[in-house]
Structure 1
């Protein structure tokens, strides 16, 4: 999955654009969108699109648009600690996205953007047996977001746009080889500000 387009949009959004000249627009109808706005997952481009609320309503049904666009849900669910070691991904800040084709990807932030690995789908299924909430993760548009860096135990089911915001934050804050002094406090704030919502 290429995240350059989605990542660029998240970075622009997080940077605090000027209200007029740089205002973000719906990528379907070109209407202005609010700072907090819905997103569509474009299955053809494997990318996230910013949309206005009226356009998002058109895609509330998964069959709309012949399945090309899927509305990214807003659900956030905090989970108890999940033993993701069974998935074989050796990093502490990562998100796992089950795909419509049955595969599962893991992506972790880096100074250059997201790194991506394929995860054994059978291992994901075994993990879902141990943590039944994972069976409800909507393919392509929701993720298991994990942060075990610096002793934290953060495990969330979140919309993929939250994951892109986290990747953009790490990319923006990273300094030098080790990340510098600001990246990890910024990541901790990101997780502290996550709130559950249905």
Structure 2
């Protein structure tokens, strides 16, 4: 009887630890975070980090933390068709991130993660002249997200964490050499779920 009780407690304790380990926590203070939570962009590591509400307040000013951590904004703006041909990127699912040093990178998802290459900064400026909203994209933490595959024509200014979520969708759903039958419906759903917010 005692052994069974101890075994049950051990199993419950192990399950509780597993559930706790699966919950997301703040990368700064380790407090649990809600499903919808803020993110910081670590400029040194070029990574997005989860952050709780109280810690996010510390980085509301872009100069906080000597600029190593930048609070990722929440705004999403759907744009009219943007002719990105001037950027010379031959793929239809890509996001463009202006950098603090004036460069611009293009990143596209693949089954192995993100592919990244540099875009001509002058071409980006030329595109921003035709679409003035692009001049408002915050370096490092916002992106122009483009999807023109399978007949779609989506152009958005989004937080970079949305772009990384898209990459995760591709990695999770890709099958075989061509992506399989699950990838395209999953991407369509990802774009359908994007909603504009200030």
Give TM-score scaled by structure 2 length: 0.90
Q: 1:68, CA displacement in angstroms?
A: 0.8
**Structure 2 residues without counterparts, runs of 5 or longer:** 1-17
Shift of 1:117: 1.1
- How far, CA to CA, are the matches of 1:109 and 1:82 in structure 2? 20
The structural deviation recorded for 1:95 is 0.2
Instruction: Please list every run of at least 4 consecutive aligned residues from structure 1 whose deviation after the TM superposition is greater than 6 angstroms.
Output: none
Partner residue, 1:13:
none
Structure 1: where are the runs of 5+ without partners? Answer: 1-17
Q: Which has the higher helix share?
A: 2
Q: Secondary structure at the match of 1:144?
A: strand
Q: Would you say how many aligned residue pairs link Structure 1 and Structure 2?
A: 181
Structure 1 partner of 2:24 = 24
Aligned to 1:162, what secondary structure does the other structure show?
helix
Give the match's secondary structure for 1:27.
coil
Matched residue SS, 1:70? strand
Deviation of 1:19 after TM superposition, in Å, equals 5.0
Q: Give the whole-Å Cα distance in 1 for the aligned partners of 2:99 and 2:21.
A: 37
**Aligned-partner Cα distance in 2 for 1:21–1:171:** 22
Cα root mean square deviation, aligned: 0.9
Q: Relative contact order: is structure 1 or structure 2 higher (C-alpha 8 Å, sep ≥ 6)?
A: 1
**1:156 is the counterpart of 2:146:** no
Write out aligned runs for 1:42-191 (5 A). 42-191=42-191
Bigger-Rg structure (1/2): 2
TM-aligned CA deviation for residue 115 of structure 1: 0.7
Encode CA deviations 1:113-164: one digit per residue, 9 max, x unaligned. 0111110000000000000000000000000000000111100000000000
